[in-house]
Amino acid sequence: MVTVTTLGYRDYLSVGSESQDCRGRAGEGFGASRQRPSPSIIARCQFFPSSMSHLSPSTPRIIGHGISSHESQHVGCAPFFYHVYLLAKPTTGIDSDRLQLRSIHILDDDSLLNIFHLYRRLLIYEEKDDEIYFLVEGGWDRERWWYKLVQVCRRWRYLMLGSASHLDLCLLCTYGTPVTDMLAHSPPLPLIIDYFDFDESHDITTRDEENILLALQHHDRVRRIRLQMPIPNPRRIIVAIDGEFPMLESLFLWNPANINRSLIFPKTFQAPHLRCLILDDIVYPIGSPSITTAVGLVTLMLSIPPSPYISPYQFLLWLSLFPQLETLGIGFFSPIPTHDVERQLLHMPSMTHVTLPNLRRFVFKGVSAYLEGLLPHIMTPHLETFQIEFVKQPEPTISIPHLQQFMTTTKKFRFNCAKLQFYEAVIAVWMYPREWRGMELEPFSMIMDCRRPDQQVASLAQISNALRSALSAVEYLTLMCFRRSMSSRGADRTQWRELLSPFTNVTSLTVPEELIGQLSRSLHSDDGEALMELLPELKQLSYPASDDTSDAFAAFIDARQNAGHPVAVDHL
């Protein structure tokens, strides 16, 4: 019987001996349907040098559901072997002492491969169901899941390397990886280049940069790239990404805090199998043929340069080349006067609508005039989430009639909940269904630059009236304030009443402490009469009570009671 343990690279040398072949009667050979891996592949991976021992971290720990403390002592220290144990153990007729005599030798090659495959899915593909999450936040370090398993015995090593494509084996280049040694002593598997750290606990060193450049030389093997600035010499990396990458599926370049706004993506880059492209503050030249060969592109998020200017018509023509898109994000960083866009729309050549039949997410960042130029010509029958951020608005007012029409014609944009939010520098509108619990992106959000408290209310009033049709279906309205102070110079009653007037179907209103004073003064007239045209269906009012605010809405509540429309109060 073979005792299975987890091993480091230094132990790998002894495990590769003939005396620990680990085959057993059921595992003789590889079956008629499976070819033995070539001697060159085995030779390159049979004896990893001891200097690479730190390339094999502990196998990621997965807790098996339903495992008892008694069972766990038979599993060993590697969680992978728990899955082998569950397959091998009998269900009845054998006591726990005899369970210790069970051996993984009874599993044939196909059963082992199925376990390997399922184990990988458990670690990796659970995140890949949400492709953009996997690309941006997924734990790519888990791609090393197989490093220890090929060290268990020769049979497992032959089996896994002979099925490398089926198991999707890859080599990971990341912080601290000795890429030169890894490439020299490993089989020619696909490469994953990952130097990305949300926690900012790692800096890309000059040695890391050299390793990135070395890995990028293998254009035909690079499958995924995820890089985070700063990099000692970022232009060297951008230049190295030029050319054709026939295997590349995902590319994410992140330039936080606009570290280097002059980085321009290469025009001759090509990746025919590219599925995801995210360039955060890396200028992409619209109109270049670089990704037009990627007909299977499903995620596209780009920063559009301020110069040269790209008209909505030019952008739409380019966008029509990617009909498989599921996620589209575009950011325009130059202020565009509204009258300039309107003049271009008047002279726009006639064109059919650009239909994106698979689009589920649409993210826009820029001025409202540009979005208004795009929306009349885009059809997204299955859109589920729409995030808008208006920045650098050249005019204080906002006009978005095409957005209202777009939301009216989008079948899934029927929401009964809304949040109006006040921040120090922006205002925000969220809309979502009652069953949404915040685990995913909000179905609809709009953020707009705005600082002064009185101007914030006025701007939200403009937005709510522009979206009147969509907001008229809202039943649950929540106001939220994240400012340190709304100041005594608040908005006047007229602005608040304009803001609330579209919410004709609201039955529940929640008010934060910071807005109680301004809102309570706005909900009743000077003569004490109820303003029934505001929130006519309101049945519940919730707000935090204190000595100063407990009776703030008393006049409003009494007026509604006298009018025959009582409102219940919930002190939070």
Same domain (yes/no): 39, 123: yes
Same domain (yes/no): 179, 300: yes
Per residue, the 3-state secondary structure of 245-261, as one string, reads: CCCCCEEEEECHHHCCC
Instruction: Identify the pLDDT of residue 332.
Output: 77
In a domain, residue 17? The reply is yes
Residue 125 backbone phi and psi in degrees, to 5: -75, -15
Tell me if residue 380 falls in helix, strand or coil: coil
In a domain, residue 264? The reply is yes
Same domain (yes/no): 175, 296: yes
Instruction: Identify the pLDDT of residue 16.
Output: 35
Instruction: Identify the pLDDT of residue 67.
Output: 34
In a domain, residue 19? The reply is yes
Same domain (yes/no): 185, 298: yes
Instruction: Identify the pLDDT of residue 103.
Output: 67
Show which of 133, 157, 182 is a domain's final residue.
133
Instruction: Identify the pLDDT of residue 473.
Output: 93
Instruction: Identify the pLDDT of residue 133.
Output: 64
Show which of 277, 305, 333 is a domain's final residue.
305
Distance, CA of 516 to CA of 554 (rounded, Å)? 12
In a domain, residue 550? The reply is no
Contact 486, 422 (CB under 8 A): yes
Contact 380, 346 (CB under 8 A): no
Same domain (yes/no): 106, 202: no
In a domain, residue 270? The reply is yes
Instruction: Output the CA–CA distances (angstroms, integers) from residue 192 to 49, 164, 216, in the order listed.
Output: 21, 15, 10
Which tokens go with 461?
A: 């009033």
Same domain (yes/no): 123, 191: no
Same domain (yes/no): 29, 115: yes
Distance, CA of 536 to CA of 394 (rounded, Å)? 36
Instruction: Identify the pLDDT of residue 369.
Output: 85
In a domain, residue 277? The reply is yes
Same domain (yes/no): 89, 177: no
Show which of 305, 330, 345 is a domain's final residue.
305
Give 21-24's long-range contacts (Cβ < 8 A, gap of 24+).
21/153, 21/154, 21/155, 22/104, 22/105, 22/152, 22/153, 22/154, 22/155, 22/156, 23/105, 23/155, 24/103, 24/105, 24/106
Residue 304 backbone phi and psi in degrees, to 5: -90, 130
Minimal CA–CA distance to 275: which of 387, 358, 390, 167? 358
- Structural domain including 121 reads 9-133
Instruction: Output the CA–CA distances (angstroms, integers) from residue 138 to 127, 134, 157, in the order listed.
Output: 7, 4, 27
Same domain (yes/no): 112, 186: no
Minimal CA–CA distance to 419: which of 390, 388, 456, 444? 444
Same domain (yes/no): 189, 283: yes
Residue 341 backbone phi and psi in degrees, to 5: -65, -40
Same domain (yes/no): 100, 176: no
Distance, CA of 378 to CA of 330 (rounded, Å)? 14
DSSP 206: H
Instruction: Identify the pLDDT of residue 135.
Output: 65
**Tens place of pLDDT per residue across the chain (572 aa):** 333 333 232 332 233 333 345 544 333 333 333 444 454 444 444 434 333 343 444 333 333 333 333 333 333 334 555 555 454 444 455 555 554 545 677 888 999 999 998 888 777 754 545 666 666 666 788 889 999 888 888 899 999 999 999 999 999 999 989 999 999 989 999 999 999 886 667 788 899 999 999 999 999 999 999 998 778 888 899 999 999 999 999 999 987 655 556 788 888 899 999 999 998 878 787 767 777 888 889 999 987 766 667 778 888 888 888 999 999 999 876 666 666 666 666 666 666 689 999 999 999 998 888 898 889 889 999 999 999 999 877 666 788 889 988 988 887 788 999 999 999 999 999 999 998 877 677 899 999 988 888 889 999 999 999 999 999 999 999 999 998 777 655 567 889 999 999 999 999 999 999 999 889 888 877 665 667 889 999 999 999 988 777 788 988 898 898 888 999 999 88
DSSP 569: E
In a domain, residue 165? The reply is no
Domain count, the chain: 2
Same domain (yes/no): 198, 289: yes
**HSE-up (13 A, CA, CB side) for residue 96:** 8
In a domain, residue 2? The reply is no
Cβ neighbourhood burial of 305 (10 Å; 0-12, 13-18, 19+): buried
Distance, CA of 39 to CA of 28 (rounded, Å)? 18
